[in-house]
Amino acid sequence: MNHTFDLGDGIRGRSRLPAIYVAALLGLLLAPVCRAQAADGLPARPAEVRIGYQKYGTLILVKARGQLEQRLKALNVAVRWAEFSFGPPMLEALNAGHLDIAATGETPPVFALAARGSKLAYVGYEEPSPEGEAVLVRKDSDISRLEDLKGRKVAVSRGSNAHYLLIKALESAHLGWKDIQPVYLLPAEARAAFATGAVDAWAVWDFHLAAAQESLPARVLADGKGLVANHEIYTSSRDFADRYPELTRILLDEIGDVDTWVHGHPDEAAELLDRQLNVGKPALKRALSRRGYGLHPADAALASAQQAVADTLHGQGLLPRPIRVADAAPHGDGAK
């Protein structure tokens, strides 16, 4: 069973889903899954796995290929796919108990962990893709270096991986967050604002970055090289990670298989993605060419990298409290 719905476009111009929105909309669309107990007292498999994904990344290709559904069908487990326009609202849904697995950039998990009662656990991550996000300016802009962003309007999606990139880029130019005028927009709105000149720069990630490079008069002011790692990170609810490590391993196996396939078949992968996104194969081939390939289970290296993100965001006053990333390691077999 393959159910898909889109929550991304319903939060235009807002960086955070109100609690009532999550409760009302997700409560209707994602019915609670019964967690029956097996006769031996161990938790049985759930009736379905609820997976949050975005319009670019490995999971959209896992979904398109359909092999995960076949593997889980043999275990009498269905898959429910939930599409989001970017990471923070996806992890709000996970924290609220409406998702089991999610894939985001490196910043949303840190914001999610800062929420009181967070249920997030790390399960895996991809190799770095620092060139897969950048700060863009228009080709005719008088902005030629990061220092020139002082006092300018910069579009960014709050809590996204590009948010962290922008912070690190400003730091490298000895600028702080208060030195710019951040304009918090979702990717589609940010693209329109950038194209019309309503903002001076745009911090953004692939595929949106590649699409802008192909179809807008845009140039890269700075990408993530030397500034950020830009890992794709897989998280789950702690309950799911601890109770169903078998299902987590199956999903990670499929992600690893898709990584290998994409790395060896970029043209076919771009064509498959274009059927989902309709932005053109050249943009998608550009995006795929700068991705890092190689899946790792959650480990100490990931915890260290995420702690650095958390410490930076807390130092900027963007987190309500300090967090300890190591506390989000899964407790079950999936952690091994």
- Domains, the chain, in order of start with CATH, read 2-129+231-335 (3.40.190.10), 130-223 (3.40.190.10)
Dump the DSSP string for 26-43: IHHHSPPPP-PBPTTSSB
DSSP state of 146: G
pLDDT value of residue 36: 44
- Residue 324 class from Cβ within 10 Å (0-12 exposed, 13-18 middle, 19+ buried)? exposed
The encoded tokens of residue 42 equal 């161990």
- What's the gap between Cα 273 and its chain centre? 17
The encoded tokens of residue 185 equal 């927009």
pLDDT value of residue 52: 98
The answer to whether the beta carbons of residues 132 and 209 sit under 8 Å apart is yes
d(C-alpha 250, C-alpha 252), whole Å: 5
Identity at 21, one-letter amino acid code: Y
Ramachandran class of 248: left when φ > 0, alpha when ψ lies in -120 to 50, beta otherwise:
alpha
The answer to whether the beta carbons of residues 282 and 260 sit under 8 Å apart is no
271's CB contacts (< 8 A; 6+ apart) are 281
d(C-alpha 286, C-alpha 214), whole Å: 9
The radius of gyration of the chain from alpha carbons, rounded to an integer in Å, stands at 19
Q: Please identify every stretch of the chain with a pLDDT value under 50, giving residue numbers as ranges.
A: 1-36, 38-40, 42, 332-336
pLDDT value of residue 208: 96
d(C-alpha 316, C-alpha 319), whole Å: 8
- What's the gap between Cα 242 and its chain centre? 22
d(C-alpha 301, C-alpha 309), whole Å: 13
pLDDT value of residue 43: 55
d(C-alpha 83, C-alpha 124), whole Å: 20
3-state class percentages of the chain: helix first, strand second, coil last, to nearest 5: 45, 20, 35
pLDDT value of residue 10: 34
DSSP state of 334: G
- What is each CA distance from 47 to 42, 209, 213, in whole angstroms? 15, 38, 43
- What is each CA distance from 132 to 7, 13, 109, in whole angstroms? 24, 23, 18
- Residue 223 class from Cβ within 10 Å (0-12 exposed, 13-18 middle, 19+ buried)? buried
Instruction: Judge if the upstream peptide bond of residue 207 is cis by omega within 30 degrees of 0.
Output: yes
d(C-alpha 278, C-alpha 284), whole Å: 10
Q: What is the maximum alpha-carbon separation in the chain? A: 70
